[in-house]
Structure 1
Amino acid sequence: MSKTQPEPARDPKADHLLTPENCAVVLIDYQPEQYRTVTSSSQEEINLNVVALCRLAKAYDVPVIVSTVGVDMGVNTGTDDVIMSELPDVEEIDRTGVNAWEDEEFRKAVEATGRKKIVIAGLWTEVCLTFPTLDMLAEGYDVYPVADAVGGVSLVAHDRAFERMVHAGARPVTAISFGSELMRNWARDTSERFREVLQWYFPKRFDLMKEGEIG
């Protein structure tokens, strides 16, 4: 039997998997000062996957929150322009602390989305990603760290951080698996949004591989 029609969609808000209606994306501390000390991945690979997250979030109308640390203090500069150029309507939330969840403005921004599933990425893996992840898990959120859009000061630091988060209940994803989960069915009209991201992503990825920028 030929199959050309999508299976019935589950309740998009109650679904235990990620849907455009039940999740939000959080990006933390993608700043030059952080990139300079990351060695578990390259800046090119991290940015490729963060930009993919941004494009997927925009394509499926998923709320995005961006936070920085130390900009108002004059210690650091803001989020990489490659990322912010994808999010022209998003304002950065600056902090003084390394744990974004301890910042009231950030916390209220997450709460204001009304979403309990948080797809999160940040630099470094072991600090600015791990600490808010642990806090949000403790407060009843489902948290999904994006493994290929983050980096730590060493591979050991990155890996141990993921072990810690998973042990606490985090559910790691990757940028493209996130898009697949949002799209869910190739026969849906909205699948074209995912195709457009893939048509950008893989040529870009292969070009970076040829240039030796990513593995």
Structure 2
Amino acid sequence: MMSHKNLSADKSILLVIDIQDNLSPAISEFSDLLQWSIKIAKVSAIFKIPSIVTEQYPQGLGSTNRRLKDALLNAQSIEKTHFSACNEPTFNATFKQLTRTQVIVIGTESHVCVLQTCLDLIAQGIEVYVAADAVGSQDPEHKSLALMQLQQAGAIITSVESIIFQWTKNAASPEFKAVLSIIK
């Protein structure tokens, strides 16, 4: 089993999977998911953490939520049709260029695109951290089962605040005041 370390901003990538406007009405507790996603996006920008945004068939499902996308720093967007982003050549090329070893995952749907992408990343030896409060499915039970399966596969299931505080490390850091204004 993979050995996970404490998260580090300089080793992290934020992966935003399919948080698209046309999907949002179907996702259970979407407003909470979006609120947490925007918080982690804003903090990732403070720490200059690169982000990749995937969009499942955007012609039909729409674009990534604008408020979320605006909160990200230099997000690289990738259109996809595969459920696992790892089956998209553009994703793989983009991911490899970033040379980071820790991936923080947020998005929809937990039991489809999030699950399959995370399983493929774990199989590649990547440390995967899933923010449980920033992933969702239409059926909460499907989300719960996906999170259990991911944990059994080696992913760390955590929360947005835990991730943010791991990135921040120190209340005396120059970033802490900005981080605190976002999470409170």
State the TM bucket, normalised to the shorter chain.
over 0.9
Q: Secondary structure at the match of 2:157?
A: coil
Q: Which position in structure 1 is the counterpart of 2:182?
A: 200
| C-alpha separation in 1, matches of 2:180 and 2:27 | 26
Instruction: Report if aligned partners of 1:56, 1:194 keep a CA contact under 8 Å in 2.
Output: no
1:97 aligned counterpart, secondary structure: coil
User: CA–CA distance in 1 between the matches of 2:118 and 2:73?
Assistant: 26
- Deviations, residues 7-51 of structure 1 (Å, cap 9, x unaligned): xxxxxxxx9211111111100101123212112xx2221111111
Normalized against structure 2, the TM-score is what?
0.92
Matches of 2:72 and 2:8 in 1, distance apart? 20
The aligned residue for residue 34 of structure 2 is: 47
Separation (CA, whole Å) in 2 of partners of 1:23 and 1:88: 14
Is 1:18 the equivalent of 2:4? no
Determine whether 1:184 maps to 2:169.
Answer: yes
Structure 1 segments (4+ residues) deviating >4 Å: none
Confirm or deny that 1:154 pairs with 2:139.
Answer: yes
| Residue in 2 that maps onto 1:107 | 92
Q: Which moved more, 1:84-93 or 1:121-130?
A: 84-93
Could you tell me how far 1:185 is from its partner in structure 2?
1.4
Q: Please give the alpha-carbon distance, in whole angstroms, between the structure 1 residues aligned to 2:21 and 2:125.
A: 32
SS class of match (1:121):
strand
Q: Deviation of residue 147 (structure 1)? A: 0.5
Kindly, what percent of the aligned residue pairs are identical?
21
Gaps of 5+ in 2: none
- The alpha-carbon distance between structure 1 residues 99 and 196, as it changes in their structure 2 partners (threshold 3 A), is same
Per the alignment, residue 77 of structure 1 pairs with 62
- Structure 1: runs of 5 or more not aligned: 1-14, 203-215
Q: Shift of the alpha carbon at 1:55? A: 0.9
Q: Is 1:36 equivalent to 2:18 in the alignment?
A: no
Which protein shows a greater Rg?
1
User: In the TM superposition, what are the counterparts of 1:109-124 in structure 2 within 5 Å?
Assistant: 109-124=94-109
1:58 is matched with which residue: 45, 56, 60? 45
